[in-house]
Amino acid sequence: MQARTTAVFLWTILSATPQLAAAAAPTPLLAAAPTPPAPTVLATADAGPPMLTGLRPFTGPENTRIVFEFSRPVAFVAPDSDRAPALAITVAGEAIARAPSVPTLMRIRDGVIDSVEAVTGVDGARLKIWFHDSTAFRVVGLPAEGDQPFRVMVDARRSGAAQATERRLATIAQSKRRDRVRVIAVDAGHGGDDTGARGPRTVRVLEKDVTLAVAKALVDEINRIPGLRGELTRDGDYFVPLHERYHLAEKMKADLFVSIHANSSKRRGSGSGTEVYFLSLRGASDQADADLANAENAADLVGGVPPQSEDGLVSILYDVKRTSALEQSQLLAETVLDHVAADRRLESRGVKQAAFVVLKSVEFPSILVETAFINNPVEAKLLKSRDFQQQIAKQIAEGLRHYFSRSGVELRGAESQAIERSGQ
Ligand SMILES: [Zn+2]
């Protein structure tokens, strides 16, 4: 009887939770089962115990993040932060169900975390993480936000990694001076638990994967252009806070910052085309742009970064830098959009302004490219295709090259190539 109740409960949760229903879709048994009427499902799901619906690891250069996802908030006990060889998180006093997709034991073995165990039952849950070594960690409970459910997030620090990052960025800055090249920081939007926008039901694709693929292709294209060097702000599937993205670019002494994203319209499938943004200090061009900036800025909420107060830095020098950066950002946005719009598969929606956190540095011109609409089935297919990713990367890179010539900067390699040609 107990087992049957649980089975019915699992099925109703699977039907009620879109993400789980999608994950279960390839299983013929579940796909063939009749769908219960929606109101009954919701009532049953509310009545049942909370469920552990996800266990996901994300390995980044400086830390490994483990995300435990629950169907409803649970009261858990764990240290906020510490350094130890292992960590136990307990949920006591209530039964915890578990989605079939969540393993009891997950081996990570990425040099930071050895393995994760998740035991659930009628008396609660015991989540245990064994670190590779004695490791500094922090534990955060994140309330449900948008389409993200309640999560318990563990960040475990890779020892010595922060110093390694600093060294890597300093090396980029040094080689830039030595080789007299212009460095372009290419920022792949979202990552890790922050998936960004999603494709429609017919095209399974996530914004975080598209942005990384386009960003990598863009770095390759930039590196083909003499005098330019492309560097990524993230090169894998992990979360980077928004302010950290431009701080990385500042430390590598970048000359330009280009953030890659995919758009999503709330009105289903109605959006299409490319738009390029630069920072607005006064708010957005219109309500839709303000909504978009809010959606992109919400990445930090998803990733568990506490809201930051605005930098209180006010000086004449700062104002001059900011004005110059904004003027150059507008020129950069216009030039890049011209080149992307050359691809007739995408309509140009124009250059726009909104208060994107990631564009806030005053050290270099910054733009955010909303490549295409990922919730539009036609454009989602484009965004998913290798061919299109390379094509749009090539056009953005051409736009970057043209930007330097429009702003009167002669690129070093281009100049020596010209001399070689004239000498022949
Ligand atoms: Zn985005």
pLDDT digits (tens, 9 = 90+) for 151-185: 999 999 999 999 999 999 999 999 999 999 999 99
Confidence of residue 322 (pLDDT cuts 50, 70, 90): confident
pLDDT for position 177: 92
| Structure token digits, residue 102 | 């969540």
CA of 240 to the centre of ligand 1 (A): 13
pLDDT of 31 over the 50 cut: no
Q: Using the mean position of ligand 1's atoms as its centre, give its distance from the Cα of residue 124 in Å.
A: 37
The backbone region for 80, taken as left when phi is positive above 0, alpha when psi lies in -120 to 50, beta otherwise, is alpha
Could you give the angle at the alpha carbon of 34 between the alpha carbons of 32 and 37, nearest 5°?
Answer: 150
Span from the CA of 189 to the centroid of ligand 1 (angstroms): 5
244 CA from centroid of ligand 1 (Å)? 16
In this structure, are residues 112 and 132 in contact, taking their beta carbons and an 8 Å threshold? yes
How many degrees, rounded to 5, is the angle at CA 226 between CA 221 and CA 228?
65
pTM (predicted TM-score): 0.84
Centroid of ligand 1 to alpha carbon of 206 (angstroms): 10
Task: Report CA(262)–ligand 1 centroid distance (Å).
Answer: 5
Give the chain's radius of gyration (CA, Å).
24
Residue 267 or 14, more confident: 267
pLDDT over 70 percentage in the chain: 83
User: How far does the centroid of ligand 1 lie from the alpha carbon of residue 393, in Å?
Assistant: 17
State the distance from the centre of ligand 1 to the C-alpha of 269, rounded, in angstroms: 17
112 φ, ψ (degrees, to nearest 5): -110, -55
Distance 207 CA to ligand 1 centre (A): 7
Give the sign of the dihedral formed by CA 233, CA 364, CA 219, CA 378.
positive
What is the whole-number distance in angstroms between the Cα of residue 96 and the centre of ligand 1?
Answer: 34
Ligand 1 centroid to Cα of residue 114, in Å, is 32
What is the share, in percent, of the chain residues with pLDDT greater than 90? 70
Ligand 1 centre distance from Cα of residue 299 (Å):
8
273 C-alpha to center of ligand 1: Å? 15
Ligand 1: centre distance to CA 371 (Å): 10
Give residue 305's pLDDT. 76
Task: Please give the distance, rounded to the nearest whole angstrom, from the Cα atom of residue 243 to the centre of ligand 1.
Answer: 15
Question: What kind and span of H or E run contains 170?
Answer: helix 161-179
**If you measure from the C-alpha of residue 345 to the centroid of ligand 1, how many angstroms do you get, rounded to a whole number?**
21
Task: Measure 43 CA to ligand 1 centroid, in angstroms.
Answer: 34
Which pLDDT score is estimated for 239?
Answer: 95
Q: What's the CA gap between 129 and 135, in Å, rounded?
A: 11
CA of 213 to the centre of ligand 1 (A): 14
Task: Kindly give the distance from the C-alpha atom of residue 292 to the centroid of ligand 1, in angstroms, as a whole number.
Answer: 8
